[in-house]
Chain A
Amino acid sequence: MILYTKNLVKHFGEVKALENVNLSLEKGTITSIVGPNGAGKTTLINVISGTIPPDKGKVFFMNKDITALLPYKIARMGIGRSFQIPAIYNGLTVLDNVRVAIISRLGKANKIFHKIDKEINEKANEILEIFGFLEKKNLLAQDLSHGDRKLLDVAIAFALDPKLVLLDEPTSGVSTSEKNIIMNTIHNVIKEKGVTALIVEHDMDIVFSYSNKIIVMHQGEIIAEGKPSQIKEDKNVERILLGVE
């Protein structure tokens, strides 16, 4: 197991965002979290990535307790993440968006009088090629389409060469045709690099197509988990996700 949580609890006032969440991720697998709005999916990702601390419970990554560590410390341990609203550097070029992550990963952020060297550029170009950004590398990130902005956010996460990526709705707000392009790219990178992925996603077709395991959340609790075929046949899950009585 690369990551597991123990009885995670997070309340926002009366709202139970997480209620005794126990989750485990096998190395090299893609796990999707699904559930209606307000189920606690994003909160779970935020707690794992250090964005917010849990009220109770623990998060373990590679058998180390990472509960409530600062985000930059968690990122340095090998957890990359993307955001629902793309978190990119709008005023920088696509190349620089990726280069900044590479600089951090290579431990060169303190190089104050050095030029941006060949190693940084080569590794940045590798990532740009994988995500299909080579031709757009000199564009400002703000000039990209919404789909490209989402993909660039994911590319930044992968530029860290992470062991685990947390992707928060990587295809939300993207046209159906673009969704598959984005997911195919992400899927290929994950498989090629042997990365473990935890994905929050609303599109059930995508979830069933790309996941090894699906976790269903409702009102802060995990109500079901299993292989896509098991989840497909679960009547309780169908009732909650589709609102069928």
Chain B
Amino acid sequence: MKQIPENKIKKFFLIISTSIFLIIPLIGSPYLDFLISMALVYAIWALGYNFLYGYTGLLSFGHAAYFGIGAYTVAFILTKFSINSFLIAILAAIVISTLSGILIGYLCVRYTAIYFALLTLAFAQFFYALCFRFYYITGGSDGMHVSTPYLFNFNLSAIENPIGYYYFTLFFFFIAVYVAWRIVNSPFGKILQAIKENTIRVEFIGVSTRKYKWYSFILSTMYSGLAGALYAPLFGHVVPDLFIISAEVLFATLLGGTTFIGPILGSIVFICARSYISAFTIYWPFILGSLIVAFTLLFPSGIVGTLEKKISHILKSEVS
């Protein structure tokens, strides 16, 4: 039997998945538009997180900090500063979250393993406390309303124009995927993968691993900031809890697996599962948490990793 080249399979899946994303609004369900927009936001976040966790091997418990910074920056610009240009707000969100990542990452990458993870968590808690205490600026636990963003003169309210907002998010998602793909397959990407596999060895081939861990951290905060920026008008409200939801991006990544498309698929499954389970019971965090624990134990390589293993097993048995 003639084997189909791997590249052709990849191209086929790319065309199919792109087409599905493009036609979702044609179904005519504003809720679905909202849901998938949210999944795309999480997918961008998880793609960035995967640079750090999946490719560089650094487990962060604090990436909600940069998501929150991105979301609050947009809220400030649109609501407090009354600048209604969404592009300016997004740019500012990316710049501020990246600057935070540069500073915090510089300190965190000096530590490894659990010390690194706890330090990232501590910084996220710090931002949460800051946001909570400075209520006269941030609205404290009540949070802040996010005004309608505009793309030039085009209304991008997620409520009034869910399709417009969906395509706007999809546009950024495609850019995020393309950039991530280029990075992962670049010489830089290979260095990150080598650091994950054997940090000490990388030092002995002439690479400062600390520097590259830092770069990876910065990249992930850039993506987190963009995701947070797209989240704010979608939800219409930002609250300090955004700074302490780091586990969600970790779950989404683990659920999909730390391959390239794993975090994307994991985010979609996570957001959809959360939405549907929460519609049935108020105890949804318990059920969702239990499902995630069970899934992680049974399928440690995530949805994509497990599927890849199954497919390669089938192909091998066919060949033999």
Contact = CB atoms under 8 A, between A and B. Distances in A.
B171 interface: no
A147 interface: no
Given A100-B190, A104-B207, A112 B201 contact: no
B204 A72 contact: yes
Given A89-B193, A89-B197, A71 B203 contact: yes
Given A109-B188, A112-B188, A115-B186, A71 B204 contact: yes
Interface string B186-219: 1111110110111011111111110010000000
A217 interface: no
Nearest to A89: B197
A110 B201 CA distance: 18
B258 to A, nearest CB: 10
Contacts of B190: 96, 99-100, 103, 116
A199 interface: no
A26 B205 CA distance: 23
Contact of B191 (A83, A104, A157): A104
A146 interface: no
Interface size class for chain B?
20 to 34
B194 A89 contact: yes
Q: Is the interface of B mostly helix, strand, loop or mixed?
A: helix
A49 B204 CA distance: 8
Given A71-B203, A87-B198, A92-B193, A109 B183 contact: no
Given A103-B190, A111-B187, A90 B197 contact: yes
Contacts of A88: 198, 201
Interface in A48-101: 49, 70-73, 75-76, 80-81, 83, 87-92, 96, 99-101
A114 B185 CA distance: 8
Closest 6 CB pairs of A and B: A89-B197, A75-B206, A87-B201, A76-B206, A103-B187, A112-B188
